[in-house]
Amino acid sequence: MVVLVTGASGGLGSVLGRTLVERGMTVYGTMRQPAGTEQDPPFPMLAMDVTDAGSVTRCVDQLLQRERRIDVVVNCVNRMFIGSVEEESVEEVRSLYETNVFGVLRVCKAVLPGMREQGRGTIVNMSSLGGLLAVPYMSAYTSAKFALEAMSEALYHEMKPHGIDVVIMQPVAMAMDRPATGAHLDVVAGAGPGSFSHKMVERMARDTAASKLTPEQVAEKIHDVITREKKPLRVPMDRARALGLVKRLAPQPVIDRLMKGLLR
């Protein structure tokens, strides 16, 4: 099985790549500049910038030339920043969408012709709690995940007749060995010193550090899903299971109280 993992230079993508290699799969990872990798992963790294259509096409073509097929693609590339709708700029939101939505779309479009030709394949797109619930001060991130979920669900129905599966993973924040804040968790430029957005960043950092869900657990779950004969459309993990039910069944006042507790 040939697997392409985008965004494999760190975080979940790196852990997933290693896990799948240990399970005997042929894995290729992507990052913008593979030559700058400090720690050599146990799988080849290809150059890909998901915000550049040409870069995506070149990467996929290179892999097809090497292996003649791509069986699974896992889209792990992800950006996040925190800020209110008033504070965030259109340019910041657009840049996040370029990675989290359009970047995933570019990768899907690049691999689908080959999967259709071989009559099978699996695309795994990484969503989150943000794909279930619109969180205040995270409108850009959660709206992008909403868009990703809708696009993935439509693609799921479109590709079913062609033997191609689409899976949406919905993990919560994962505990990772990295700084509490940084490129993965930052505040928008327009958030002033007294903005509540800074408190939300601190809250997210605490929640991530206290999370019982690890990248290793998510990687094992992805392995389980992609090796099944029948694959589910959505795979909620940890608190995402309960919150998915709350979002579908609870009246709006219950959601309001939930958000009020979060902001408190």
What is the chain's Cα-based Rg? 18
- Whether the CA torsion 166, 222, 50, 94 is positive or negative: it is positive
CATH number at residue 98: 3.40.50.720
130: nearest Cα among 194, 53, 207, 56: 207
Closest CA to 205 of 235, 163, 173: 173
Q: How many structural domains does the chain have?
A: 1
Q: Which residues are catalytic?
A: 9, 127, 141, 145
* Whole-structure pTM value: 0.92
The answer to whether residues 64 and 114 touch, using CB atoms and an 8 Å cutoff, is yes
- Structural domain containing residue 219: 2-263
Provide the residue-wise pLDDT of the chain in tens; the chain has 264 residues. 999 999 999 889 999 999 999 999 999 999 998 875 556 799 999 999 999 999 999 999 999 999 999 999 999 999 999 999 999 999 999 999 999 999 999 999 999 999 999 999 999 999 998 888 888 999 999 999 999 999 999 999 999 999 999 999 999 888 876 554 445 678 999 999 989 999 988 888 888 888 889 999 999 999 999 999 999 999 998 877 777 777 777 788 888 888 887 777
Confidence (pLDDT) at 248: 78
Position 37 scores a pLDDT of 56
Please check whether residue 112 is in contact with residue 164, taking contact to mean a CB–CB distance below 8 angstroms.
yes
Report whether 98 contacts 143 (CB < 8 A).
no
pLDDT of residue 184: 62
Q: Of 166, 75, 76, 153, give the one whose Cα is nearest residue 120.
A: 166
pLDDT of residue 183: 56
